[in-house]
Structure 1
Amino acid sequence: MEIYCDTHGDSGVSAFEVGTDFIIVRFTKGGTYLYNYFTTGSYHVNNMIRLARLGNGLNGYINLNAKYTYARKIA
């Protein structure tokens, strides 16, 4: 997994991994979740990938748009 940059130092995300149609997000307080095109939707997954690479806004985006639409909890 790639370390989440967290440009503002206040994120609940610690790491992420990107695939062709998914993103896996690890949260600082525990839990690693898979979000994919099928369950979460390509629009949200692509926005999450963009924010993950920017290192800003991913946790907030997930809380507002995709909090309960993960495909599965990995850990």
Structure 2
Amino acid sequence: MTPYRDWDNDSGVNAYDVGPTHIDVEFKSGAVYRYTEQSVGSMNLSQMVSLAKAGEGLNSFIQRIVKKRYSAQLR
């Protein structure tokens, strides 16, 4: 997994991993969730990948837009 930059040190996201049709997000609690094109839509997935790479806004986006629409809890 790639460490999440979190420029403001205020995120619940710890790391992420991008696949061809998904993003796995590890939260600071240790939980890992998979979000897919099917579960959140391709536009939301694309935005999540952009935010993850930028290191800012991913946790907020998940809380405001995606909410609990993950496809699986991996850990």
TM-score above 0.5, yes or no: yes
**Partner amino acid for 1:59?**
N
Tell me the distance in 1 between the aligned counterparts of 2:39 and 2:59. 18
Where 2:46 maps in the other structure, the secondary structure is helix
Where 2:10 maps in the other structure, the secondary structure is coil
Q: Which runs of 5+ in 2 are unaligned?
A: none
Q: In the alignment, which residue of structure 2 is the partner of 1:26?
A: 26
Deviations 1:27-67 (A, max 9, x none): 00231000000111111111000000000000000000111
> Which consecutive segments of 4 or more residues in structure 1 shift more than 3 A?
none
Tell me the distance in 2 between the aligned counterparts of 1:33 and 1:67. 11
- CA-atom RMSD, angstroms? 0.7
Q: In the alignment, which residue of structure 2 is the partner of 1:52?
A: 52
Paired residue total? 75
Alpha-carbon offset, residue 9 of structure 1 = 0.6
Q: In the alignment, which residue of structure 2 is the partner of 1:7?
A: 7
Task: Give the structure-1-normalised TM-score.
Answer: 0.96
Q: Which runs of 5+ in 1 are unaligned?
A: none
Q: Percent identity?
A: 37
Tell me the distance in 2 between the aligned counterparts of 1:5 and 1:60. 14
